[in-house]
Amino acid sequence: DAKTTQPNSMESNEEEPVHLPCNHSTISGTDYIHWYRQLPSQGPEYVIHGLTSNVNNRMASLAIAEDRKSSTLILHRATLRDAAVYYCIPYTGNQFYFGTGTSLTVIP
Amino acid sequence: GAVVSQHPSRVICKSGTSVKIECRSLDFQATTMFWYRQFPKQSLMLMATSNEGSKATYEQGVEKDKFLINHASLTLSTLTVTSAHPEDSSFYICSAISGDQPQHFGDGTRLSIL
């Protein structure tokens, strides 16, 4: 299983962009990179996923390095509701293994 | 969007009791469901993978006789914690997946064993 490394915590001011990095240097060629976030006392919520190309959706953008050994989740304008733990997960279509994630604090 | 419902959201019971948690996919048929456990301030730990009509696959270190999983239909999986003890107190979360779609998670069940 591909291992991931994320900062334990990050802070952002409200309405500013946030870049959440993830290293997944052992990722295999067929692993999609999924990002989920979890608010306190709730189940994880899907954010975005991609394979090689950068991806955009209404929640965020995902920038994937050319060698696929790292990726960055971009929240374009952080809101207080974006405060959560963010997980990046390489996924082959079998099991999901969560790492420790990044706890994002949004400062009003 | 896809919705996964988990019930109950919270349960408190005495030591030695067996507790059943239900996980339902409300608007899609789930080919696979997953069960996770999460202790305070820790990440989610995968317990088992469940496919409809077949036996669940348990992760290493998870006792299959302790955590019984039944996946009777494409929309329902249940986790039964048998003879629960205080160390089984945790946040249990299920998820469901269909084809190539992302996993959708339930809101979790907070289990407290007295």
Work out the number of other CB atoms within 10 angstroms of the CB of residue A71: 26
Contact at CB, A99 and B43, closer than 8 angstroms: yes
The string of pLDDT tens digits covering residues A37-84 is 999 989 999 999 999 989 999 999 999 999 999 999 999 999 999 999
User: In chain B, whose CA is at the least distance from the CA of A87?
Assistant: B43
Q: How far is B26 from chain A (nearest CA, A)?
A: 16
Interatomic CA distance for residues B36 and B23, integer angstroms:
12
* pLDDT for B19: 97
* pLDDT for A1: 59
Of B46, B93, B94, the CB nearest to A95: B46
Under the banding of pLDDT at 50, 70 and 90, the label for residue B1 is: low
pLDDT at B64 over 70: yes
User: In chain B, whose CA is at the least distance from the CA of A33?
Assistant: B102
User: In chain A, whose CA is at the least distance from the CA of B57?
Assistant: A95
Interatomic CA distance for residues A91 and B17, integer angstroms:
36
Q: Which helix (H) or strand (E) holds B50?
A: strand B45-51
Chains A, B: CB contacts within 8 A come to: 48
Q: How far is A12 from chain B (nearest CA, A)?
A: 21
Interatomic CA distance for residues A96 and A99, integer angstroms:
10
Contact at CB, A43 and B34, closer than 8 angstroms: no
* pLDDT for A94: 73
Of A49, A87, A95, the CB nearest to B102: A49
